[in-house]
Structure 1
Amino acid sequence: MLFSLGQVVVARNCLNYAQQHGVNLTELVERHASGDDGDLCKADQALNDLAIQSEGRVFSSYTINAVSFYVITEWDRSYTTVMLAEDY
């Protein structure tokens, strides 16, 4: 793990979708914490690298079955939110 996640919370809509479609949200959070930004462009990946070094907000995006999931760790590392892109 490259940075602290704080408390991990999952948006209700995201949790419902994941349960109905067999999406492993723990795996997404683990990828996020290891520095795997998912589907981000190079510029956004570079911003994440900087955020990890300077305590900024870390954002990852993963597409599974044409549905986008976001994992966002706040700048102060107090919490990490997992949500569907449509809930952002």
Structure 2
Amino acid sequence: MPAKFNPGKIVATQKVVEKIKTDPNFASFVNHSLQRHLAGDWGDLCQEDKKENEFSLKNNLRLLSAYKKANTKIWIITEADRSATTILFPEEY
């Protein structure tokens, strides 16, 4: 899937990084989710939030995606200026 925008610097919170290091399935989930985010597949958001992301994509505003696998959920946020994309657990926001 081709990227629809430049993610800037890709970073993750310490908790996400620790889980990536110890859980290969989670690492694969994060990688796949990031690819979906960059392609404009906003994941497990309601239709209203997906529409907001489409507006934000066209108007250089912040982008938020949410992805779930089993009991694990992550958010991926790209800043409005496209300087950085952060991967985090929702409870870390």
1: CA distance between counterparts of 2:22 and 2:53?
30
Q: What TM-score do the two structures reach when normalised by structure 2?
A: 0.88
- Quick check: 1:17 aligned with 2:16? no
For residue 66 of structure 1, report the CA deviation from its aligned partner. Answer: 1.2
Deviates more, 1:73-82 or 1:8-17: 8-17
Query: Partner letter of residue 10 of structure 1?
Result: A
For residue 4 of structure 1, report the CA deviation from its aligned partner. Answer: 0.8
For residue 62 of structure 1, report the CA deviation from its aligned partner. Answer: 0.3
- Aligned match of 2:74 in 69, 72, 85? 69
Query: Partner letter of residue 88 of structure 2?
Result: M
* Structure 1 consecutive aligned stretches of length 4 or more whose deviation exceeds 4 Å: none
2: CA distance between counterparts of 1:44 and 1:18?
27
- Aligned match of 1:51 in 29, 49, 56? 56
CA RMSD of aligned residues (A): 1.1
Q: What TM-score do the two structures reach when normalised by structure 1?
A: 0.93
**Count of residues in Structure 1 that have an aligned counterpart in Structure 2:** 88
For residue 26 of structure 1, report the CA deviation from its aligned partner. Answer: 1.9
Question: Which residue matches 1:5?
Answer: 7
For residue 17 of structure 1, report the CA deviation from its aligned partner. Answer: 2.1
List runs of 5+ in structure 1 lacking aligned partners: none
For residue 60 of structure 1, report the CA deviation from its aligned partner. Answer: 0.1
> Secondary structure in 1 aligned to 2:66?
strand
1: CA distance between counterparts of 2:33 and 2:10?
12
